[in-house]
Structure 1
Amino acid sequence: MIPISLKKLCKITNGILVNKNTLENNNIIINNISTNSKKIVSECLFIALIGKNFNAHDFINEAINKRASALLLEHRVKSKIPQIIVKNTTSALGKIASWIRKKCKANIIGITGSSGKTSVKEITASILKCYGNTLSTFKNLNNNIGVPLTLLNLDNSHKFAIIEMGANQPKEILYSTKLTNPDIVLINNIYHSHLDGFKSFLGVSKAKQEICSGLSEKGTAIFNSESHHWSKWKKNVLNKNVFWFSIKKKSIVC
C-alpha cells in the first residue's frame, strides 16, 4: 500500500478529522488499512463498514484495543483516537482505493464472466509473475468490497495487477471498473447466472459489458466470440483495441 497521511485521507474521502489537536495525531501516516477488527497491524486505519447483516461499528473497541492508529467511521465515538467521519464508509473505501490505483503505474487487467473467471485470473497471474511483481485478487473477493480491498495493496513495486470483478445485479461491475480503470479487460463468457438480480440473459450480458466502461483511453478489450449479444455493445469499445477468442471459431482482431 502507498502510505497516506490522515490529512490526505480526509481530502480523498471528503471526511472530517476529529481528535486532531495534537502534533502527533496530525503527523500520523497510514501504511495499512483493515476492515476487520481482528486484523489490525502497525500504522493501521480501521474502516467500519456497514452491510445488510453487519455493522463493523460494533467492533470499534476491539480495533482500538489492538492499537489501530485511526478510525474511519460514519459517526464519532468517545475516544481520543483520531477519527475520520464520513457519510458512507463503503464509499470512502472505494475513494481511497481509486486514489491508490491512480498513483500506481502497474498495468491493470480486469476480468469478468459468468464462469471460470477465478481460474482465468489465477492462470494470468501465474504467467505475469514471470515478468514482474504481480498483484491479484485474493481467492474470489470480487465484489464492491473485495475489489477496493485488492486495490489498496497496490504500490509502485507492482508491474501488473489482475482484478477479478463479479456481480449479482446491474451496476456492480460498473462501480468496480470505474475504481480500477483497467488497461485490459477480458469477458470470459456469458451464461445464464444470477438471473434473480439480472432478470434475463440479456441483463447478464449488459452487466458483464459494464467492465468496458472503466477501460483506459488506449485500452484493450478481449471477448469470447461464442458468447451472445456482442453486436449490441460495440459502442462501448469504439476506438479501443479489440481481440476475440474462441474454441470453435477463428480468432479475430478488430
Structure 2
Amino acid sequence: MISMSLKKIASITNGVLYGKNITIDHISINSKKILPNTLFIALKGNKFDGHMFIEEALAKGCCAIVTTKKIISFISYIIVEDTTIALGKIASLLRNIIQPKILAITGSCGKTSVKEMAASILQKTHHIIYTTNNENNHIGVPITLLKLKATDKYGLIELGTNNPGEIRYISKISQPNIALINNIYHSHLAGFKSLLGISKEKSEIFSYLKNNSIVIINLDSHHLSKWKKKIKNRKIFYFSIEKKKKVIFLLLILRFIHIKHVLSCIHQLVK
C-alpha cells in the first residue's frame, strides 16, 4: 500500500486520534504479521476480538492501533465506532487514491476459476492485485485492496456472500469498473431462501459501479429481467452456453489490455 497519515485515517473513519500524527506504511489485522510502520486494526467479530491481541501487536512492533476504546499505550491510536467498518473505509480510500481498474467477479460457482484465469493473463504485462485464499467477504475484500501500490493498474476482486447485504457492502468498498456475474444457481440457499433471493443479492454488484463501467452477464442466469434497472445505460457483454452466444469473457480482457496473442486462445475456445 501507499503511505498514509493517522490524521487522514482518523478523518476517513470518523475516528478520534490520540497521540502523534505519524505516517504508516502497512496495515494488519493479524498481530503476528507486523512489519515496520504497521497500523494494527483490532477487528471484532462474533467469535473473535482483536482487542485481545493488542499487547502482542505492540510487542511485535506496531506503530499505531485502531480500536473501539481507550487503551494504555505509548504509541498513537485511533478510536472508532466499528473497526471492521473502519477497515473498509481505509481500503476504499486507497482504492480511490490509486485508481486502478477494478474487475469484480461474483456468481454461485466458478468465480474463483474465472478470477485466477483473468489474473494469469493480466499479470503477464501489468502490476495487479487479486483475491487470494478465497478472501472474498467483508474483511477479505478490504484486505485485498490494501495491497494496492501506486504501480498497480488492475485489481481482480472476488465477491462472495452468505447473507443479504454483503455483496452491496463490498461493492461499495471496491467500486468496480467491470462487474461480472458468472452464474446464478442453487447455492447458499439457507441465507437467501430462494433462487430469486440469490439473484437479487448477486445483482448488488451493480450498485456502486464507476462511471463508464462495463457489465458482463451470463444470459443463462435466472431472473435476468430483475437486473434491467440496475444495468440501464451500461455497456454490456453477454455470454451463454444454452443460448449459443459466443461472447467470451476473454474478449473483455483483450479490450482493456490489448494483448493480441489472446486471440489465438479465443479462437480455440469458440471452435
The alignment status of 1:202 with 2:188, answered yes or no, reads no
Match of 1:169 among 150, 163, 166: 163
Letter in 1 for 2:139: I
Cα deviation per residue 1:204-249 (whole Å; 9 max; x = unaligned)? 0001000011111210000111111011111100110011101232
Within 1, Cα distance between the matches of 2:53 and 2:118? Answer: 37
TM-score (norm 2): 0.89
Query: Who is 2:16 aligned against?
Result: 16
* Ranges of 4+ aligned residues in structure 1 off by more than 3 Å: none
- Assess if the C-alpha contact under 8 Å between 1:186 and 1:221 holds in 2: yes
Contact 2:240 2:246 in 1 (8 A): no
1:56-77 CA-to-partner distances (Å, cap 9, x unmatched) read 1000000000110000000111
Instruction: Tell me the residue number matched to 2:122.
Output: 128
Letter of the 1:212 counterpart: F
Query: 1:236-247 counterparts in 2 under 5 A?
Result: 236-247=230-241
2:229 matched to which residue of 1?
A: 235
Question: Residue 38 of structure 1 aligns to a residue in which SS?
Answer: coil
Contact 1:117–1:188 (CA under 8 A) maintained in structure 2: yes
- 5 Å matches for 1:77-226? 77-226=71-220
Aligned length: 247
Runs of 5+ in structure 2 lacking a partner? 248-271
User: Partners in 2 of 1:118 and 1:95 — Cα distance?
Assistant: 25
CA contact (8 A) 1:45 1:71 kept: yes
Matched, 1:57 2:51: yes
User: Which sections of structure 1, spanning at least 5 residues, go unmatched?
Assistant: none
Cα RMSD for the two superposed structures = 1.1
Deviation at 1:169, TM superposition (A): 0.9
- 1:7: which partner in 2? 7
Letter in 2 for 1:9: I
Q: What is the letter of the counterpart of residue 99 of structure 1?
A: L
